[in-house]
């Protein structure tokens, strides 16, 4: 089952968030990213991200801009308004 979430990444001290459909298989997160997107570019060089389960309005906001209230775990950004974060 595909879950619509907000994926947060960080590169060069700049946070990024994007609505992404993900699913889980064999303890791995599978997501299909658009070539050239900020999330795609960030994950080419950084090997960490967070998967944020958020209210639908937060998914819509993630389409418009990257500004948000981020918290950090070992330099990995996640969204303060998440119901749950992986």
- pLDDT tens sequence across 30-85: 999 999 999 999 999 998 999 999 999 999 999 999 999 999 999 999 999 999 99
pTM greater than 0.85 = yes
H helices of the chain, in order, are 38-45, 56-64
The pLDDT of residue 3 is: 94
Structural domains of the chain in order of their starting residue, each with its CATH number: 3-85 (2.30.110.10)
Q: CA of 16: how far to CAs of 26, 42, 43, 53, 64, in Å?
A: 26, 9, 11, 16, 11
Q: State pLDDT tens for residues 5-20.
A: 999 999 999 999 999 9
| Cα-to-chain-centroid distance, residue 79 | 9
């Amino acid at each position: 089952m595909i879950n619509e979430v907000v994926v947060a990444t960080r590169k060069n001290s700049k946070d990024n968030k994007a609505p992404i459909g993900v699913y889980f298989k064999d303890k791995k997160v599978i997501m299909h990213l658009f070539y050239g997107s900020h999330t795609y570019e960030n994950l080419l060089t950084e090997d960490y991200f967070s998967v944020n389960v958020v209210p639908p309005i937060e998914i819509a906001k993630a389409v418009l801009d990257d500004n948000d209230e981020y918290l950090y775990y070992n330099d990995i950004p996640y969204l303060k308004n998440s119901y749950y974060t992986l």
